[in-house]
Structure 1
Amino acid sequence: MEWLINLIGPGHTELASTLVLYSFVIAAGIFLGKLKIGGISLGVTFVLFVGIIMGHFGYVVNPEVLKFVREFGLILFIFAIGIQVGPGFFSSFKKGGVLLNCLAVLIIVLNVAIVLAIFFIDRGTDISALVGVMSGAVTNTPGLAAAQQTAGTTEAINIMAMGYAAAYPLGVIGIILSMLILKAVYRINIDDEIHKIEEEIEGSQQKPLVLSFEVTNKLIDGKTLYQLHQILECDFVVSRLMGADGKVIIPTSKTELHVGDKIIAVLGPNDEMKFQGVIGHEIQMDWEEVQSTVLSRRIVVTQNKYNGVALGALRLHTAYSLNCTRVNRAGVDLIASPSLRLQVGDRLTVVGDPNDIERLATRLGNSMKRLNQPNLITIFIGIMFGIIVGSINVGFGMKLGLAGGPLVVAILISRFGYKFKLVTYTSSSASLLMRELGICLFLASVGISSGKGFAETVFNATGMWWVIWGFIITLVPLIVVSFIARGVYKINYLTIMGLISGGCTDPPALAYANNSTGSDAPAVAYSTVYPLTMFLRVVSAQALILCFF
């Protein structure tokens, strides 16, 4: 039995016992994290608490091994986050998301201001503890990781983890409590808010329309589709045309329109009235029942060489006699304009002869199996350059570090990687696996290393103040910003719920918002502010350590 004691007993640092310890901490943490209390679960963060418990009872890991696992897990997690939020990072600054992002930034500013106020009022408080408390109060693990990596010392890393663990539980509760306070003060009716936001979505939906028209305007009789584009000055695609003889053809830019022709067009919702005014009235027509050899199919781009290639460069009209009507990217339909740059994973809706469609499908790949293969070259190139960028001194002795560097590079690669022929498509399951594996390794390492002395540090007057400060850091900024959002800007309550959850990058709060409303409106607001918020949470935590540590 001695071999078993050496394997699972405390105080052993052999490779086998280390692997068993990590496996137990992660498995137990994930299992316990799924348990719900009041409809709320802590998720993967429970791995940290299990690690603390094991560290408290004397389980240890070789310091060099622990540091490697902790930093490697951090890099995997941060890089996966960057790849996930990158495509929406720049678009989140567009008109619809500017106000929400400004309010999310205000939350972060107030969080930092309260931390600084506590630091200057109570001069005996270590900034490392306060940064850990702040990260736990806003449930932001990447911020904790970035601060720990910036500080570097074992003592600072451990005290940050203790502050994080002390503040985290009430952080989750405080986020949800702020939603309930706002609802009670303004006497908000959820059903009314859902109805209002549904009306807003219907009024502003930008999904391309697929409509049929009959040409009745004699002024455009004999005009080509190219000339029609010049007249209308908007993006549209005419996928099929049926002439007076009843024959269906695939039109090109040189195809002439004649009175009596029937067409099916894909256009933006704001261009419908303009289109009717120039072409003619809309008609109801089932093109699938029309006897013709013209079919509509979807083709998936899986050949790496077409990553970043403009749609017009495929020469669909001349080479294949096909029309591409729209491109679906990550669940969003885009109008197939010639200048649109393709990305691996795009789904093209094409119309034409089945044989021509098959030839194009062979050229573009159209293999779902290939999409399931992870693009490891892009991942490790990104990690390599992320570490290099993170090691550069950006001024005032500040470095982005192993957290900020990979995050910045991942965001840039996911948005502009196609220009360097880097395939950034990653299946949702592969991305989730990399993210969850990374955060589990990181949290387990932090928990095990900070477990020794945790009880003595937290379960006393100091720990009590950490909990109180954490709750203040959580609740006060959210109350202020949510009241501004509702009282001043009249933002929908469901959107505010997503803003609050995204401002704290807190999935449990988002799950509560989704479950309590039955709407995906909170998730839309969450995804709008999440990219910028995540980036600023990491940077602000590092900045506090660099300025006051």
Structure 2
Amino acid sequence: MQLLNEPLILVFVILCLGSWIGQIKLKGLSLGSAGVLLIGMIFGHFGYQVSPIIQDFGLSLFIVAIGLQAGPRFFRMIRSKGAIFGIIALVIVLAAGITTIIVTKVFQISPALSVGLMSGALTSTPGLAAALQATNDPLASVGYGIAYPFGVLAVVLFVQLLPRFTKVDLKKDLQEANDPIKTNLSPEMAKVVVTNPTLHKKTLKQLKLHKNSIVISRVIRNKQTMIALSDTVILLGDKLVAIGEKEKLDKFTDFIGEKIEMDLENPDNIHLRKITVEAENVIGKTLKELKLRRKYGATVTRIVRNGIELRQNPNMPLIRGDVLTVVSTEDRLEEIEKFFAKKKLTVTNVHIFSLSIILIVGILLGMVPFHLPGLGTIQLGIAGGPLFVALIVGHFGKLGPIHVRYYGPANHVIQELGLVLFLAGAGTMAGQGLVEVIQTEGLKLVLAGMIITILPIIVGYLIAKRLFKLSIVHALGSLSGGMTSTPALGALNQLIDSEDPAIAYAAAYPFALIFVAVASQLVVFFL
């Protein structure tokens, strides 16, 4: 046991045993990364302590990885009807916060334990990080560890059992109910004949279509189809195939001429192909920077990211995994596919300079005090500061010398490494008082954690289903995201063969991450 006094040996023993425990499945459920927290608590009970520096280092890596992953989606969803999922996440966290305050008063639980219970009930590690920052008390980790198992189990059971009890046809319900993401974000196609005399002999570039996010994929003239390029000249009577948001597409049609009905056939020389963005040298670049029309005579008509079809924006940075619908000739498409393909022996490169800048600025921001009227002074801390900065940088992808579009597998590695280092430290801190707390308040804490878990689940589902009229699939997907429960998403995916659960989960998840981190600090003030 003398070897465990060596700090690095202690850390890796906890990680080894914790990851092993986390992989053990019981009826399809496992602790996952929380296994590290459990083993850390055991070691902490026997007097072992992971260095706070290692814990804070892990926390900062984990939080930045979360922010960079959520950034591209977070701000885009705020600007669209997809913000409905943000509202659902807010309601869930708000319900959890209010329930926590009431339960704390009724059961007379300490603030640190209560906020930890809330973070565990919502299975939110960033929430735990914020709770530790706000309370400076390791009991928050004890509360998290007590509430976490039921927090995971409750959402998974709710997702699995609700469709069985309601006996609803999920696919039929999905088609008939409100779909705020696809109805809002999916571009439409229109065939338009040019009748405006002022446009005769104008080039497509002169129409400034990018300002309205309209894309012309083809120009049809005298039964001959041409690929639409910036310097393509249009004439009266030409038929244009336009893609864009419905409202803007209608205005564009009124300006150009009038809609027509026609069968769209692909001539032998023009083809459509879906191409996935993988190459390191294109990640983070925009369609405007890549100049595909000029270099390859090709037009990108659609971009699908994480299952969601995006509005066209030539200035939007591409990320790994984006699926582009490209129109061009067969030989050009072959070239473009190679251009976007992952190069052999390419190493996923983490830009240490960028990562360091984000961490420095984020930690400094976290130290700045903000005065909230009636609540006192609050700091974003090591959790909130880097998260806020990472969200902004993740949204833009590149700010001056800082670029973060190397993420993908690399982001997952950083996130997992940071998470387990943080949980190892938080676990050993919590373990020092674990047994005493359970002996004196064990049953009371378990009951409190169950209440804090169940009420937000019910409230979140009812808001999604009754207020926003979402399908059961979208309601449960947004509930899984609002509760930050990946196992629940996995259970939902087993019920229906569709990408919709993941879309709803991904839309609510980043909002929930932010709200839980903020709520963990605000609840402390009310307590």
Report if TM-score (shorter chain) is over 0.5. Answer: yes
> Do the aligned partners of 1:229 and 1:235 also contact (CA within 8 Å) in 2?
no
Aligned to 2:451: 472
Q: Which residue of 2 aligns with 1:77?
A: 62
Instruction: Count the aligned residue pairs.
Output: 515
Please report how far the alpha carbon of residue 376 of structure 1 lies from its aligned counterpart in structure 2 after TM superposition: 2.2
Change (3 A) 1:244 1:512: closer
CA spacing shift, 1:404–1:472, aligned 2, 3 Å: same
TM-score of the aligned structures, taking structure 2 as reference length: 0.82
Any residues of structure 2 matched to 1:198-213 within 5 Å, and which?
198=175, 204=183, 206-208=185-187
The 5 Å alignment of 1:402-441 reads 402-441=382-421
Distance change >3 Å, CA 205–CA 455, structure 1 → 2: same
Residue of structure 1 in register with 2:5 after alignment: 13
- Return 5+ residue gaps in structure 2 as ranges: none
- Where 2:369 maps in the other structure, the secondary structure is coil
Change (3 A) 1:188 1:394: same
| SS across alignment from 1:394 | strand
Partner Cα distance (2:11, 2:27) in 1: 29
The residue correspondences of 1:60-139 to structure 2 (distance < 5 A) are 60-61=48-49, 66-123=51-108, 125-139=109-123
Aligned to 1:195: 172
Task: Provide Cα deviations, 1:284-334, integer angstroms capped at 9, x if missing partner.
Answer: 4233x23x8x997969696879956671x66666x6473433364645555
Kept after mapping to 2: 8 A contact 1:188/1:493: no
Change (3 A) 1:531 1:37: same
Matched ranges for 1:44-55 at <5 A = 44-55=33-44
Distance 2:341 2:402 in 1: 19
Task: Quote the residue 2:521 is aligned against.
Answer: 542
CA contact (8 A) 1:206 1:269 kept: no
- Cα distance 1:226–1:251, how it changes in 2: closer, same or farther (>3 A)? closer
| Higher fraction of helix | 1
Q: 1:511 to 1:351 in 2, by over 3 A?
A: closer
> For the residues of structure 2 that align with 1:144 and 1:527, how far apart are their CA atoms?
21
Aligned: 1:390 with 2:366: yes
- SS at 2:458 equivalent: helix
Which residue of 2 is the match for residue 160 of structure 1? 140
Structure 1 CA distance, aligned partners of 2:208 and 2:400? 33
* Residue matched to 2:28: 39
In the alignment, structure 1 residue 30 sits paired with structure 2 residue 37 = no
Is 1:324 the counterpart of 2:299? The answer is yes
Distance in structure 1 (CA, Å) of the matches to 2:414 and 2:431: 26
- Percent identity for Structure 1 against Structure 2: 28
The reply to whether residue 142 of structure 1 matches residue 151 of structure 2 is no
User: Is the contact made by 2:192 and 2:257 (CA closer than 8 Å) also made in structure 1?
Assistant: no
Match of 2:202 in 1: 224
Q: Could you tell me the TM-score, scaled by structure 1's length?
A: 0.79
Deviation at 1:236, TM superposition (A): 3.7
Name the counterpart of 1:151.
135
Change (3 A) 1:307 1:430: closer
Report the Cα offset of residue 175 of structure 1: 2.5
Secondary structure of the corresponding residue to residue 495 of structure 2: helix
Q: CA distance change for structure 1 residues 214 and 79 in 2, over 3 Å: closer, same or farther?
A: closer
CA 1:283–1:447 in 2, change beyond 3 Å: closer, same or farther? Answer: same
1:493 and 2:472 aligned: yes
AA of the residue aligned to 1:394: F
Indicate the SS of the match to 1:385: helix
Distance 2:430 2:57 in 1: 18
Alpha-carbon separation, structure 2, partners of 1:300 and 1:488:
38
Structure ID, larger Rg: 1
CA RMSD of aligned residues (A): 4.1
Deviation of residue 102 (structure 1)?
Answer: 2.3
Q: How far is 1:176 from its partner?
A: 3.5
Cα pair 1:137 1:471 within 8 Å, conserved: yes
Q: Which amino acid aligns with 2:117?
A: V
What does residue range 132-531 of structure 1 map to in structure 2 within 5 Å? 132-152=116-136, 156-157=137-138, 159-179=139-159, 183=163, 187-191=165-169, 193-198=170-175, 204=183, 206-208=185-187, 222-226=200-204, 229=207, 235-241=213-219, 244=222, 251-253=229-231, 255-257=233-235, 259=237, 266-268=243-245, 271=249, 274=253, 278=258, 280-287=260-267, 289-290=268-269, 311=288, 320=295, 322-326=297-301, 328=303, 330-331=305-306, 334=310, 339-343=314-318, 345=320, 368=343, 372-395=348-371, 396-458=376-438, 460-531=439-510
SS of the equivalent of 2:378 reads coil
